[in-house]
Structure 1
Amino acid sequence: MDTSVEREEVKPSIEMATQLAQALEVSLDYLVGSTDILLDKNIVSKILDIQKLKESDRQHVFALLDAFLKLSCKAFYKTKSSKSQTLPAE
């Protein structure tokens, strides 16, 4: 389908672009090509919930996340490193 929007003859309004992004469940940035990061709807929902917390509670959540991510990254790279060391040379 070759529409006037696809041919760039007509630019959709911000309201139309917002509705399209919501229908496709993507961000406006993703829709217009400003980012290639597609955010998971559940993650965004949790981030919004965290923003509603008191500052001290948010800091606790961030500390837990930081600790978990640090450990996860170490485990990932350790596993990746040990796998690369066991691969036979070609």
Structure 2
Amino acid sequence: MIERTDHQSLAQMRECDFDLATVVFVGDWHWRKGPRLMAILAFVFGRRRRFVHLGMAATVAWYRGQPYLIRFNPANPASGVL
């Protein structure tokens, strides 16, 4: 667990967590509700970003400025994503 002592660091940590949550939420919406062709293009040609959010390892593909949630599984410390 990361310990933060000053108020500014806590605020920055919360803001970063909200940013990641927003990317996961919007990426999931684009993947499920958006055009299938765009989701396929994002899966094949998208720029990947991997991160851990709330103990879950997420893979988001960015295609034409839009996030698409590719994978959202429990984080595995051995995978090196952490």
For Structure 1 versus Structure 2, the TM-score category normalised by the shorter chain is 0.3 to 0.5
Q: TM-score, normalised by structure 1?
A: 0.33
Of Structure 1 and Structure 2, the greater strand share is in 2
Bigger radius of gyration, 1 or 2? 1
* Structure ranking higher on relative contact order (CA contacts 8 Å, 6+ apart): 2
Of Structure 1 and Structure 2, the greater helix share is in 1
Q: TM-score, normalised by structure 2?
A: 0.36
